[in-house]
Chain A
Amino acid sequence: MARAVTNQRKATNTLFAWAIGLLIFFPILWTILTSFKTEAQAINDPPIFFFFDWTLENYAAVMERSDYAKFLWNSIIIAVGSTILGVIIAVPAAWSMAFVPSKRTKDILLWMLSTKMLPAVGVLYPIYLIFIQLGILDSRIGLVVVLMLINLPIIVWMLYTYFKEIPVDILEAARMDGASLRDEIVHVLTPMAIPGIASTVLLNIILAWNEAFWTLNLTAAKAAPLTAFIASYSSPEGLFFAKLSAASTMAIAPILIMGWFSQKQLVRGLTFGAVK
């Protein structure tokens, strides 16, 4: 589509797109700005945008009130752990579906996705009981397993779509070259699928990081991640805008920063591998 576009039209597009982009981003921007205000300035009428006394006191207050590092650490362990475990289980399954398809492959894939539609709340109490029995209630390992299971269908699906793009010839060549199945997956398939795997991992870390049903209902003090940390600010006593903003910023910053650095893979991953 090599066609001359008038600068005027381009300028109009730019203006429109930036305005809408900023509008969509505004809640996040506003939260970050507010986190640096004093409580009084945070609720000033009219609202103050930039010209306030920038302060870090809210962050200090949040740190004092709760052990941010502990919540953060839990979030990292749970999100990263469940994703890696999921990928380890999903890679062989996706290999099977992509390269040895049978009549049932699509059914299995759709069935896996349909388990995601099972309402979590319908099975909350049984899981709760099982967790008590196994002694893993409020433990990181328990959440790693649960989040792995709820994200597994998506991981399998994404890896499957990425694997399907890899020519079967190359895997056959490896087989002819004397590679065992393990060699084929470790030395040929996985390195070739690295971009796809990276996208899958990034997306699923975000999904696990933001998961807010199981993380809220299966944790108390020990294993609670950032979703629980922030939920504690929903109680009326926590209703201070600036502090709430500081806590919110702290909860979302790791993911925003990660997203910033891995934009390309993430954008690819965000489409769940389904659209090229």
Chain B
Amino acid sequence: MATQHSRSAARLMMAPAVVLLLGWMLVPLIMTVFFSFKKYLPLRGDKLSDGLEWVGFLNYERFISSGSFWPSVQTTLVIVVSVLVITVTLGILLALLLDQPMWGQGFVRILVIAPFFVMPTVSALVWKNMFMDPINGILAHLWMLFGAEPVLWLSQASVPSIILIVSWQWLPFATLILLTAIQSLDGEQLEASEMDGAPKLKRFWHIVLPHLSRAITIVILIQTIFILSIFAEIFVTTGGAFGTKTLTYLIFQRVLDSQNVGLGSAGGVYAIILANIVAIFLMRIVGKNLDN
């Protein structure tokens, strides 16, 4: 149905979205790259209108040589990968369970989805205080019930704590997508394999799991997009202390707390590069999977 008319109409109608996103991407990006080559400390009187001192790659060198850079990259990746593994694995198990015949399936589904509705600031605060507080938190009570010493969650096990919170937020999403995918599985195919005498585990491995591959890709794509940039969960809980500084948080501190825009911008460029590496990697997989 592609006529010249509809093609030119299509271009015209796509324009607002494309132009807006292009502007949203390019303008700040160019400014960030510009600042990253400058000395820009607004609190010390550097002003954009007075012109900024060109410092070459100094900011880049300083950012990467600071002791917090590599740990922050590592923390970021550890959090993203751990949350992905946890949510996908538990999501599959939970989806398989919810797919079974039971009473009150709809109600259980609401219970399971609920964490997705909770804003990150709230869930971070609730977990931090009411669950992970070493004196009054539920987990402390639980530990003491079994005679164990309460864990100082956010200082002794800070990264796992963050992973726990973020996984709790995203498990509903993974479960729901995977459940929808399982429900679309052709019953006849499963019955046929049952007739062929395939045992349960084999059926799961050779039929259910391949069927879920597209859904798993979607989960990984969307979650990576959101988890790469988690902010509130760290802002509210540890404030970046105890090794929970992700790259995002590190840059945030450089820009806003220490007001070193040049240095923060160089960090921003690093973050953009990291995100692009992840993005290229992801888009490859997703592009392939979106075809079918």
Contacts and interface: CB of A to CB of B under 8 A. Distances in A.
Contacts of A217: 256
A129 B31 contact: yes
Contacts of B112: 20-21, 24-25
Interface in A184-231: 206, 209-210, 212-213, 216-217, 226-227, 230-231
Contacts of B275: 117-119, 122
Nearest to B144: A45
A117 B279 contact: yes
Contacts of A10: 101-103
| Contact size range, A | 35 or more
B81 interface: no
Nearest to B231: A213
Given A117-B225, A210-B120, A270 B1 contact: no
B119 A210 contact: yes
Given A106-B290, A123-B32, A252 B102 contact: no
A119 B232 contact: no
Interface string B246-257: 011101100110
A62 interface: no
Nearest to B108: A21
Contact of A93 (B1, B18, B108, B121): B18
B108 to A, nearest CB: 4
Contacts of A271: 176-177, 180, 218
B24 A149 contact: yes
Contacts of A45: 136, 141
Given A18-B108, A212-B120, A89 B290 contact: no
A16 interface: yes
Nearest to B232: A212
A18 B256 CA distance: 45
Nearest to A31: B126
Contact of A121 (B11, B115, B172, B271): B271
Contacts of B9: 96, 100, 181
Given A30-B130, A274-B177, A122 B251 contact: yes
Contacts of B231: 120-121, 212-213, 216
B103 A251 contact: no
A96 B172 CA distance: 32
Given A89-B17, A108-B14, A46 B141 contact: yes
A134 interface: no
Interface in A83-119: 89-90, 92-93, 95-97, 99-100, 102, 106, 108, 110, 112-119
B121 A108 contact: no
Given A123-B29, A127-B28, A259-B113, A216 B235 contact: yes
6 contacts: A16-B97, A21-B109, A153-B21, A210-B119, A234-B121, A251-B119
Interface of B: 1-2, 6-7, 9-11, 13-14, 16-18, 20-21, 24-25, 27-29, 31-32, 35, 48, 94, 97-98, 100-131, 135-136, 138, 141, 145, 168, 171-173, 176-177, 180-181, 184, 187, 190-191, 214-215, 218, 221-222, 224-225, 228-229, 231-232, 235-236, 247-249, 251-252, 255-256, 261, 264-265, 267-269, 271-272, 274-276, 278-279, 282-283, 286-287, 290
Given A25-B115, A210-B118, 8 more contacts: A16-B97, A92-B17, A97-B14, A113-B225, A114-B279, A120-B231, A241-B130, A267-B180
